[in-house]
Structure 1
């Protein structure tokens, strides 16, 4: 039996094309998961930002002299809503988290505020949002890890880079104050 020379070459080309299609589809799926995860973070950041005006309103009724903290919280909320990249969002989220921590310290200084049912409900909802945001960040970073591993691994990178796939940034909290607890003073003032 005579074996044509083009048959092994044709089989090799088909195998390489099939491998390329499989790799491409896996990369597209990984990129879609990263985008979905980023969307989840944005939803939780939005939920947190939407709670802030209500929290500020309640605290203003009890702590009029804490105006600068409330103004800072409002400003940080605006920055968080305008963030478009994971790095910007992480930075804005850290600043907003610090301001939220200080407002909770203010609540400690006003027992009647802590006893307010609306404030307690908002505090619980904010705590729930923070938990969900933490989960969304972990999910996002896991999907980024998977995509980055695929994009950077040989031989997948031979297909990924020419087709425009690239590594995505992790959602990292670079706030140096995150490791320090706020200092609580019982004269009505709080500082980080």
Structure 2
């Protein structure tokens, strides 16, 4: 009888520890996503300033400038992480096209405001890259817990759901082409 009680207590303690570990992993993933979101929003907030700076030099580049603003607005208004992931790729592509404009405008390259914004953007892109890496590492650990025995039993009992990795879509991998 005592052995049965001890076994039951150990099983309950294991279940509690596993459940808490899953919750901790899930929350770590959510916190990592929040860090990506902060940096993506910072980048999105920079775009209007970059567009305004470029406008002064590239008045006839209306389509590229408007595309950057549209992509920024789509990202900012996204309501789910999945939408944000999709729109972040478009934002990245439009920002690349926007930054390519500097090659055609030598005066723009020397503009102090533009150079400062470009430097801030580079720092933000680096932070986004690191945040993506940490997020994907956290998601990998969480998904491993969801799939590995015996924690997968507790995960399925309490309906823990998989989280998506932050992946770059194929279009974002292509080098942007700017034609004049």
Q: Please, what TM-score do these two structures have when normalized by structure 1?
A: 0.89
The secondary structure found in structure 2 opposite 1:64 is coil
Indicate the SS of the match to 2:4: helix
1:94-105 matches, cutoff 5 A: 94-105=89-100
Q: What is the number of residues matched between the two proteins? A: 180
Rg: which structure is higher? 1
Q: Is residue 177 from structure 1 mapped to residue 159 from structure 2 by the alignment?
A: no
> What secondary structure sits across from 2:157 in the alignment?
coil
Unaligned runs of 5+ in 2: none
TM-score relative to the length of structure 2: 0.95
User: How big is the alpha-carbon RMSD for the aligned residues of Structure 1 and Structure 2?
Assistant: 1.3
Assess if the C-alpha contact under 8 Å between 2:90 and 2:172 holds in 1: no
Aligned equivalent of 1:129, options 124, 129, 132: 124
Encode CA deviations 1:31-71: one digit per residue, 9 max, x unaligned.
11011011111100110011011001000111110011111
Which residue of the other structure, out of 33, 46, 55, is the alignment partner of 1:51?
Answer: 46
User: CA offsets, 1:77-119, max 9 Å, x none?
Assistant: 0111123434322221111111111111111100000100000
Q: Is contact 1:86–1:169 with CA below 8 Å preserved after alignment?
A: no
Provide structure 1 residue ranges, at least 5 long, that are not aligned to the other structure. 1-5
Instruction: Please list every run of at least 4 consecutive aligned residues from structure 1 whose deviation after the TM superposition is greater than 6 angstroms.
Output: none
- 1:30-109 alignment to 2 at 5 Å? 30-109=25-104
